[in-house]
Amino acid sequence: MPEPAFTVADLGGTTLRIACYDAASGTVDDIRRTPTEGLDRHPGAPVPDLQARVTEQLAGLAAEAVARHRSRALAVAFAGPVTSDGRVVTAPTVWGTRGEPLPLRLLLEERLGLPVVVVNDLTAAVWRYVDDMSDQPFCLITVSSGIGSKVYRAGEVLLDPEGHGGELGHWTCDTTSQAPLCDCGGRGHLGGIASGRGMLAAARRAGLADPAGYARSGLAPAAPDPALLDNPTLVAAVRHGDAFATAVLRGGLAHLASAITSVFTSIGVRRFVLMGGFALAVGPRYAQLLTEELERLGCFGLGTEEIRRMVVLGEPDDDHGLIGAGRLLAARSSSRQAVTVS
């Protein structure tokens, strides 16, 4: 009997991806990407309006994909905390401030007429790496339009039923009155400082504050006006060792390294897998700079060589949530478990 096909979706602050997951091969195909109809495309729109836009977009595209794939179920990896019954608690990178919880699983099941799993995107992505890590605990961190994290330990992702846990991006790491705003409306959160959006804003501020230094950097030829700087230009400059761009990135990485040391010292996780569009675009240089910050801070009880083995890059693609959601759904389908996870 052939393995079933499942439709999987990964809804982030910037991009919505929908694909077909093949349970036999553990791979995805028919990957289709479209800009998310959320905060990024409609800045300033009311939260209920953005929730309606995103739900309608996801439901419509998922219905088309389910028909193409002849799917038995749908799994959605969502960029925000999700409860065990599939309610999205909040989604700062998708619709900004908190708003009312969105019963996304229920809405999709009513619309599509088939079982639906809705999980946090990092919760889904974890399952892509579980086999690779065996039983070794690890923390998966994504650095893209925001920052998220999840810890895997003893066969499970550490979360409570209301979806709390794994939100390092909303740790307040800068308590000054002028700290950058986060998409959630809070000030000084790690995600507002060290995410791809946060680092771009920091580079623009640095360029405006030090025009002479900016003019000498590798950023200026592509964006003479710092206000017009974009992420690809910033990433390219860091990859080529530009001193100005690297100094900006180090500023954000100092906060991320501090967050990592807190996870290590509190629960003893010693392996951190980095993914997300911004971190993976910078590539090995990102892991190198982050490790240098970890060495500078120190990790209580660990030597230099042990610290240097803590950080690794994830697979160089953006399929983490899709593959992880598919693996989770396939496992639960084969074991006849209820398809409600957080």
- State whether 325 and 284 are in the same domain: no
97 within some domain: yes
- State whether 113 and 213 are in the same domain: no
Q: How many domains does the chain have?
A: 2
Q: What is the DSSP secondary structure assignment for residue 170, as one 8-state letter?
A: G
pLDDT category at 110 given cuts 50, 70, 90 is: very high
Please compute the mean of the pLDDT values over residues 245-256 and round it to a whole number: 98
153 within some domain: no
Structure tokens, 249: 């990135």
Q: What is the pLDDT of residue 80?
A: 85
CB contact at 8 A, 265 and 300: yes
Q: Mapping DSSP to helix (H, G, I), strand (E, B) and coil, where does residue 58 land?
A: helix
Between 165 and 123, the more confident residue is 123
Could you give the CA distance from residue 229 to residue 222 in angstroms, rounded to a whole number? Answer: 8
Q: What is the pLDDT of residue 134?
A: 61
Q: Residue 285's domain is classified under what CATH number?
A: 3.30.420.40
Q: Please state whether beta strands 311-313 and 147-153 pair in parallel, antiparallel, or not at all (unpaired).
A: unpaired
CB contact at 8 A, 186 and 158: no
Could you give the CA distance from residue 5 to residue 23 in angstroms, rounded to a whole number? Answer: 6
134 within some domain: no
- State whether 172 and 309 are in the same domain: yes
Domain that holds residue 196: 167-270+277-313
Closest CA to 284 of 252, 318, 230, 239: 239
pLDDT digits (tens, 9 = 90+) for 18-54: 999 998 888 999 999 999 999 989 998 999 999 999 9
Q: Please state whether beta strands 74-78 and 147-153 pair in parallel, antiparallel, or not at all (unpaired).
A: unpaired
Statement: residue 339 has pLDDT above 50: no
139 within some domain: no
What is the maximum span of the chain, computed from C-alpha positions, in angstroms?
A: 67
- State whether 118 and 198 are in the same domain: no
Residue keyed to tokens 């060290």: 194
Percent of the chain's residues with pLDDT above 90: 71
pTM above 0.75, yes or no: yes
